[in-house]
């Protein structure tokens, strides 16, 4: 590795994988095509029985790519396995059916320098269909912990990056959550005072299809979300049915606040600081 590359913060991407061979090539290529000189891509595969291994074999000769195929206890467990062996300064997970947009790593590396107090960086996301056609663009806004807890997980994991220090400071994902592990993690980090920084840039594409975990486990997703709100929300002494009503009301309130943020796209502070880079 040359001296210039060594000066770049190292970015580690963890990809949990299971029988998504039809999509994983694009995920791999989206990392390669960043043309970023200091990267590590770790794929933890749960013994896929489709074409996953054959696709990965086309790229396994690349020094930045590591492919580990072994049994796990689900997506959250696979991500945590990757986190444990990650050696980057900046850590992220990319699901095998999603992919990064060009220039994302350079943007994050720059934010890493521009916002030294920031621990979590996130940006905007395209939602795409199975073929990659854009369905809509999901725009976001400056961090608001109440919107996160009551409206829902507006931060997309595919467009989110963290300093490596987050892992030892706040711990790994909670593997008791199989669908909303990202929601629980971001709420937990916020509750412990982690610093989130919004970057007004399109970062990645989230692929929406019938076999998404969020689609196939909708009931579990709803239950896990409520469990997280019960754990981190106010009024624990209130009866559970009344708390559930309270959370529904608060969801409406903070949906409105999110709408106001998006209408104004009030990113003045971010833009000013970005201009100073």
pLDDT value at 269 more than 70? no
Say what the pLDDT of residue 2 is: 47
pLDDT in tens, 85-120: 999 999 999 999 999 999 999 999 999 999 999 999
Say what the pLDDT of residue 150 is: 95
Tell me the residue range of the domain where 12 lies. 3-275
pLDDT in tens, 13-31: 999 999 999 999 999 999 9
Say what the pLDDT of residue 3 is: 44
Hunting for tokens 């590795």 — which residue is that?
Answer: 1
Domain count for the chain: 1
Say what the pLDDT of residue 153 is: 95
DSSP state of 124: E
Say what the pLDDT of residue 238 is: 84
Say what the pLDDT of residue 4 is: 46
The two structure tokens encoding residue 268: 């003045």
Which contiguous run of DSSP H or E holds residue 186? helix 181-191
Say what the pLDDT of residue 35 is: 96
**Nearest partner of 151 among 52, 31, 250, 269, judged by Cα:** 250
pLDDT band at 1 (very low <50, low <70, confident <90, very high): very low
Q: Which residues have a Cβ under 8 Å from the Cβ of 181 and sit 6 or more positions away? A: 75, 76, 79, 173, 174, 175
* pTM recorded for the entire structure: 0.91
CATH of the domain at 270: 3.90.550.10
Say what the pLDDT of residue 270 is: 54
Task: Work out the average pLDDT over 121-146.
Answer: 95
pLDDT in tens, 189-248: 999 999 999 999 999 999 997 765 555 578 888 899 999 999 999 888 888 889 889 999
Say what the pLDDT of residue 264 is: 82
């Amino acid at each position: 590795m040359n001296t210039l590359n060594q000066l770049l913060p190292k970015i580690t991407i963890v990809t949990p994988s299971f029988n998504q061979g039809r999509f994983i090539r694009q995920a791999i290529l989206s990392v390669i095509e960043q043309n970023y000189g200091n990267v590590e891509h770790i794929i933890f595969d749960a013994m896929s029985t489709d074409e996953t291994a054959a696709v990965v074999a086309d790229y396994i000769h690349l020094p930045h790519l590591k492919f580990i195929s072994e049994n796990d206890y689900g997506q959250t467990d696979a991500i945590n396995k990757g986190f444990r062996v990650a050696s980057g300064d900046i850590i992220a997970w990319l699901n095998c059916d999603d992919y990064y947009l060009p220039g994302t790593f350079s943007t994050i590396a720059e934010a890493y320098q521009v916002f030294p107090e920031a621990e979590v960086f996130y940006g905007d996301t395209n939602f795409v269909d199975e073929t990659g056609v854009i369905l809509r663009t999901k725009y976001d806004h400056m961090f608001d912990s109440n919107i996160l807890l009551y409206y829902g997980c507006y931060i997309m994991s595919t467009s989110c990056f963290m300093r490596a220090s987050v892992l030892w400071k706040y711990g790994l994902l909670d593997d008791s959550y199989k669908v909303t592990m990202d929601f629980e993690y971001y709420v937990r980090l916020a509750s412990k005072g982690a610093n989130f920084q919004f970057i007004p840039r399109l970062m990645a594409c989230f692929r929406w299809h019938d076999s998404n975990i969020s689609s196939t486990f909708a009931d579990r997703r709803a239950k896990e979300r409520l469990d997280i709100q019960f754990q981190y929300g106010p009024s624990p002494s209130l009866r559970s049915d009344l708390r559930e009503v309270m959370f529904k009301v608060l969801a409406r309130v903070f949906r409105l606040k999110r709408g106001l943020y998006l209408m104004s796209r009030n990113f003045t502070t971010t833009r000013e600081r970005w201009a100073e880079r």
